[in-house]
Amino acid sequence: MKLFIQLTTQLMIVLSGLLLMACQQDSNPTTTEATCMKLSAQQAGTQIVEIYRKAMDETNRLTKNQAKPESIEAEFNALLKTWQTELLLIGQHVMVMTGAEQQQIQSAINKEHVAMQYNETAKKRFEDFSKNTFPYHKTSPELYQKLKGINIITQFAFFDLLKKQNKDAEEKWGEWMVPYVCE
């Protein structure tokens, strides 16, 4: 099962990279705009929130029975890399958006955070996340730091914030932290 998940995760990363390359290469210069898949602020915001929810749900699935850290760490790390990559790809679009468009995206994320107080589904998702991940702070502090980082994973779509929060961001993800270009 773990091998299947790892292979699936690796396939998703490869497909994301191929999609990016396909979007950035245009064999017919007269149809660049038609073939280029630039995200709107609304699309970017929706996708970021969907990835955030998926990350929370999958983290809850892995941690709900307080599995031993070594039994979930490899799968979690693979999923984390996938979510980060997906958000970095969206971040390439965000990077070239106007301040107003970036605010629209941030508004979608803020709406999700506010929903954690009032929407029962979102509230339960976050309560379960907190309850399920906290015990790992004693049994596996390093894994716990990664697990709790899911709560702020949306920063991967905002490169300025990512650089502020992670001093080694350029070293780790610099190749991804470039503007999206339709050529």
Per-residue pLDDT tens for 120-167?
Answer: 999 999 999 999 999 999 999 999 999 999 999 999 999 999 999 888
Is the pLDDT at 3 greater than 80? The verdict is no
Tell me the Ramachandran region of residue 47: left when phi exceeds 0, alpha when psi lies from -120 to 50, beta otherwise.
alpha
Higher per-residue pLDDT: 66 or 33? 66
Average pLDDT, whole number, for the chain?
84
What are the structure tokens assigned to 43, written together? 């699309």
Give residue 23's pLDDT: 42
For helices 41-63 and 120-133, give the axis angle rounded to 10 degrees: 50
pTM here is: 0.78
Is the pLDDT at 53 greater than 80? The verdict is yes
Give residue 60's pLDDT: 97
Domain layout of the chain by residue ranges: 2-10+39-172
CB 11 within 8 Å of CB 5: no
Is the pLDDT at 103 greater than 70? The verdict is yes
Separation of alpha carbons 146 and 71, rounded Å = 15
Is the pLDDT at 78 greater than 80? The verdict is yes
For helices 99-118 and 120-133, give the axis angle rounded to 10 degrees: 80
Higher per-residue pLDDT: 49 or 5? 49
Give residue 141's pLDDT: 96
Give residue 35's pLDDT: 60
